Amino acid sequence: MKILLLGYGKMGKVIEKTALERGHQIVGKIDINNRQELARFNPTNTDVAIEFSAPEAAYQNLKWAMGAGVPTVCGTTGWLQHRPEIESLCAENAAAFFYASNYSIGVHLFFRLNQYLAKIVAPYQSTYDVSMTEIHHTEKKDAPSGTAITLAEGIFAEFPAKKTWVNQAEATENELPIVSLREGNVPGTHVVRYESAVDTLEIQHVAHSRDGFALGAVVAAEWLKGRQGVFGMDDLLGK
């Protein structure tokens, strides 16, 4: 499979390594220094693009990819206010777009555990209050993380006391506080905590490296090839 990398930072380099190990070809590596080279890529020479850049670059990269009809797997967060436009472009150009806030299989198991825990604690929401902490490397530009926002959405679906999130420790009764910490080279840690006056319930996911994210992204690219439409990890994994 011929893969175009949109974004060639630390994550892009791990994706490249994983893709090559799985027998794929990297046909291009686009970053801020060579965006003019995008014009030479199209569905005749590119099977799938994998987009892991920065929030400000992702929107432009995805506009190009959907306009060019290049199937694209995206893992960049912090740009989602533009998602309806990107999905419309995908439909208009009969393209393919795969988005996930996190490509780790373990994280998606954690998403399901998180939503189940919210459901069984919900009858006791007058007793337990919920909060979240997420920790990432210092180069991560958006906060809270896309994974934390997905976790928050899972809580809102099952825990009626919470309606929205705030990115701070202090929150009103209907707000879910998410504390974002940026430390060293942490790949990603997410903690969901339910506290009462007498005890604490806590679940957490700790990523040990970027390898799991890279593998998930490459597997998603393999799955996306030849498809049209908008997809996510539930489509890949089955729900």
The CATH number of residue 10's host domain is 3.40.50.720
Q: Are residues 85 and 30 in the same domain?
A: yes
Cβ–Cβ under 8 Å, residues 15 and 50:
yes
Both tokens assigned to 126: 């007058």
Q: Which residues contact 88 (CB under 8 A, 6 or more apart)?
A: none
Q: Which residues contact 151 (CB under 8 A, 6 or more apart)?
A: 110, 111, 114, 132, 190, 192
Provide the residue range defining the domain that includes 95. 2-99+211-237
Q: Are residues 147 and 90 in the same domain?
A: no
What single letter denotes the amino acid at residue 87?
Answer: E
Number of domains forming the structure of the chain: 2
By the 10 Å C-beta count (0-12 exposed, 13-18 middle, 19+ buried), 200 is classed as: exposed
Q: Are residues 199 and 109 in the same domain?
A: yes
In 3D, which of 186, 116, 114, 126 has the Cα closest to residue 152? 114
Cis peptide upstream of residue 43 (ω within 30 degrees of 0) = no
How far, in Å, CA of 14 to CA of 31, rounded? 15
Q: Are residues 219 and 155 in the same domain?
A: no
Q: Are residues 86 and 141 in the same domain?
A: no
Instruction: From first to last of the 239 residues of the chain, give the pLDDT tens digit.
Output: 999 999 999 899 999 999 999 999 999 999 999 999 999 999 999 999 999 999 889 999 999 999 999 999 999 988 999 999 999 999 999 999 999 988 988 898 999 999 999 999 999 999 999 999 999 999 888 899 989 999 999 999 999 999 999 999 999 999 999 999 999 989 899 999 999 999 999 999 999 988 999 999 999 999 999 999 999 998 998 86
Q: Are residues 198 and 119 in the same domain?
A: yes
Q: Which residues are catalytic?
A: 136, 140
How far, in Å, CA of 38 to CA of 213, rounded? 25
Q: Are residues 115 and 82 in the same domain?
A: no
pTM: 0.78
Q: Are residues 10 and 42 in the same domain?
A: yes
Q: Are residues 84 and 114 in the same domain?
A: no
How far, in Å, CA of 181 to CA of 96, rounded? 34
How many CA atoms are closer than 13 Å to the CA of 34, on its beta-carbon side? 12
Q: Are residues 8 and 95 in the same domain?
A: yes
Instruction: Give the H/E segment covering residue 155.
Output: helix 146-158
Q: Are residues 93 and 183 in the same domain?
A: no
Beta bridge partners of 190: 134, 205
